[in-house]
């Protein structure tokens, strides 16, 4: 395997509290050393004025395969991940069939190896067939390689099932990732319930639907000692509930998506279905609460909730179009443009939420540039300026609300296991 020397980059590795300009050597697929001079390495990458980061990790990605290959495949989804700077992703099990058996976990692993793009970790189902009635075979799924458990796309609705999920997953020290939503409160809803939904005459999804489920899950995690990860948090109420739970020592973590710290429900005035997602875009006060949660550490992770849908599915009336947007290829730039450049987060804080924090939650040995670690590296040009053109996406789908937006910064080189897999 060729050796690579990354020269003169600003290496930021939150796992080591490292932030300095140096040379980074990669040999045999691993991080081999710092401050190494050019000495006949096979490849030298000039990273002057660039950020050299541990490979980015997205712990919330819908790859759609098996079952909905018209939206995305594991090959196209992982190619999109590379283009966005991600070297590892965790895929969510709401496929057809759902990922609730050893065979389906192995299928994803096989397809990911065949694609040979980035690392793919599997989040398996909490319940068999995602029906919320009976626990999946947690132990078998862990042995097959599952790193966490979720019925996302839907919440784990039965509190007794959720309690037992915490207990079983604790035996393997695995997190339960839950979509916080009380469906009775959101039935028929297409957007956030508030002034805008009232003006537009559209059925709303109240913040309380998320807050109630967030509170329930935290109570159950506290009672069982289980590891709870609340997915795609979006309301000021939930952020505050998590903040208080963390102060009590509850084992709870959470994540936020770029669209939830960037956009508001005002966008729905366009009736563009690319602004329809679940949880919905909220009010400005919720956006500000999410940013405050990122700043004070209440929110641990930035993820994409990458949810591809074929064009014909999204090109429908707002009440018929499916929820969700793609996000892998715009997430990093939205973080730079909307969090780092305005001064909400500095580079180390932002990269921690994109690297070591998701790695620790999932219990995977990634997200670090320590000597001896796997050589997963993302090189970022913070000065790059580009316009989002969905026609150029690597993803099979292009359902983004950010088409035509001018963004700052992007990944220029992505290295996986010591091999250059993407160059802008």
HSE (CB half, 13 Å, CA atoms) of 409? 21
Q: Which two tokens stand for residue 254?
A: 């959470």
Query: What are the phi and psi torsion angles at 369 (to 5°)?
Result: -115, 25
Q: What is the DSSP letter of 177?
A: E
Helix (H, G, I), strand (E, B), or coil: what is residue 142? Answer: helix
List Cβ neighbours of 351 (8 Å cut-off, separation of 6 or more): 12, 13, 14, 51, 53, 54
Distance set, CA 115 to CA 57, 174, 364 (Å): 18, 27, 21
Q: What is the CA radius of gyration of the chain?
A: 21
Cβ neighbours, 10 Å, residue 86: 31
Nearest to 413 by CA among 122, 136, 13, 9: 9
Helix residue ranges, H only, 116-256: 138-144, 159-171, 183-186, 195-200, 207-224, 236-248
Query: What are the phi and psi torsion angles at 61 (to 5°)?
Result: -135, 135
Is 300 known to be catalytic? no
List Cβ neighbours of 285 (8 Å cut-off, separation of 6 or more): 236
State the catalytic residue, choosing from 13, 71, 217, 305: 305
Residue with the two structure tokens 């670690």: 373
Q: Distance between CA atoms of 389 and 114, rounded to whole angstroms?
A: 28
Point out which residues pair with 256 in neighbouring strands: 302
Q: Distance between CA atoms of 157 and 251, rounded to whole angstroms?
A: 20
Q: Distance between CA atoms of 315 and 50, rounded to whole angstroms?
A: 39
Give the active site residues: 305
């Amino acid at each position: 395997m060729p050796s690579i020397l990354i020269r003169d980059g600003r290496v930021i590795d939150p796992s080591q509290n490292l932030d300095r300009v140096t040379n980074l050597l990669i040999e045999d697929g691993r991080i081999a050393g710092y401050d190494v001079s050019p000495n006949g390495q096979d490849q030298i990458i000039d990273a002057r004025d660039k950020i050299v980061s541990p490979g980015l990790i997205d712990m919330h990605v819908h790859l759609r395969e098996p079952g909905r290959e018209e939206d995305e495949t594991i090959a196209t989804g992982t190619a999109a991940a590379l283009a966005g700077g991600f070297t590892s992703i965790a895929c969510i099990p709401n496929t057809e069939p759902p990922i609730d058996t050893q065979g389906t976990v192995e299928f994803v692993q096989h397809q990911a190896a065949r694609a040979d793009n980035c690392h793919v970790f599997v989040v398996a189902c909490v319940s068999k067939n995602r029906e919320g009635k009976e626990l999946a075979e947690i132990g078998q799924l862990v042995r097959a390689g599952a790193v966490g458990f979720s019925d996302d796309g839907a919440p784990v609705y039965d509190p007794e099932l959720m309690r037992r999920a915490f207990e079983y997953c604790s035996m393997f020290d695995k997190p339960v990732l839950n979509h916080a939503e009380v469906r009775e409160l959101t039935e028929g809803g297409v957007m956030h319930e508030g002034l805008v939904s009232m003006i537009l005459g559209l059925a709303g999804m109240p913040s309380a639907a998320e807050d109630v489920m967030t509170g329930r899950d935290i109570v159950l995690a506290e009672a069982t000692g289980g590891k709870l990860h609340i997915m795609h948090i979006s309301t000021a109420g939930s952020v505050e509930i998590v903040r208080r739970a963390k102060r009590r020592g509850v084992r709870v973590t959470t994540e936020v998506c770029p669209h939830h710290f960037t956009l508001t429900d005002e966008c729905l005035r366009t009736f563009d279905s690319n602004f329809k997602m679940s949880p919905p875009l909220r009010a400005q006060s919720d956006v500000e609460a999410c940013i405050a949660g990122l700043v004070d550490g209440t929110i641990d992770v930035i993820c994409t909730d990458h949810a591809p849908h074929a064009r014909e599915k999204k090109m429908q009336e707002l009440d018929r179009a499916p929820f969700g947007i793609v996000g892998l290829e715009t997430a990093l730039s939205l973080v730079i443009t909307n969090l780092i450049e305005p001064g909400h987060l500095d580079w180390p804080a932002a990269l921690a939420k994109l690297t070591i924090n998701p790695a620790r939650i999932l219990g995977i040995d990634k997200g670090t540039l320590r000597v001896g670690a796997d050589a997963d590296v993302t090189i970022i040009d913070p000065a790059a300026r580009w316009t989002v053109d969905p026609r150029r996406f690597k993803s099979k789908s292009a359902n983004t609300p950010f088409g035509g937006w001018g963004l700052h910064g992007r990944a220029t080189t992505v290295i996986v296991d010591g091999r250059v897999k993407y160059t802008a």
